[in-house]
Amino acid sequence: MKGNIPSRDPETAHRPVRGATVWLTGLSGSGKSTLAAHLARALRGLGCATELLDGDQIRAAAGAGLGFGRADRDTHVRRIGARCADLMAGQGIAIVAAISPYRATRDECRALVESRGAGFIEVAMQCPLPVLIRRDPKGLYKKALAGEIKNFTGISDPYEPPIFPEATVDISIESVDSALRRLVQIVRVKTT
């Protein structure tokens, strides 16, 4: 079954294989991109057709003219969701790393992906705000707290965490390896 996660469990070997979207959502610096990159490598190592969709990279490449107000953020997230739905036609696995701050827009993306018969795995990337502010690898929190960045999620703009995510990860207390093992197992279940 090239392109999909092979099943070694004889009881699930007869089930059809389907695509899935793994959507990592959380505040800036919560580990979305790091964990998504590790997950993409792990799934490719298992022979899965996998595409990594990083919100920052997509915004830089295809987000010309989009700002950070709610309407523009929703447009950005919907574009990512549409790309995920397109990938599902080939039973691929899309891994999304995007703040995607608004629950309703993430739910729209879930509905679109699931309408294609694919699985949707929402991963809540949690990390205490004081830890994120202290880490601040890009210096964004410092600028947001100083008022230099407007509409910064978690500081001057809201973030609506998932209510019932398929997984919750807090890299401040869990290793990337541990989180990765859990996510690979969830993907296995959702794609068979």
d(CA 83, CA 109): 10
d(CA 161, CA 177): 23
Residue 96 falls in which region: left (phi positive, over 0), alpha (psi -120 to 50) or beta: beta
| Residue pair 33/54 in contact by the 8 Å Cβ criterion | yes
Of the candidates 7, 33, 100, 175, the residue annotated as catalytic is: 100
Catalytic status, residue 100 = yes
Rounded to a whole number, what is the largest CA-CA distance in the chain?
A: 58
The residues carrying an active-site annotation are: 100
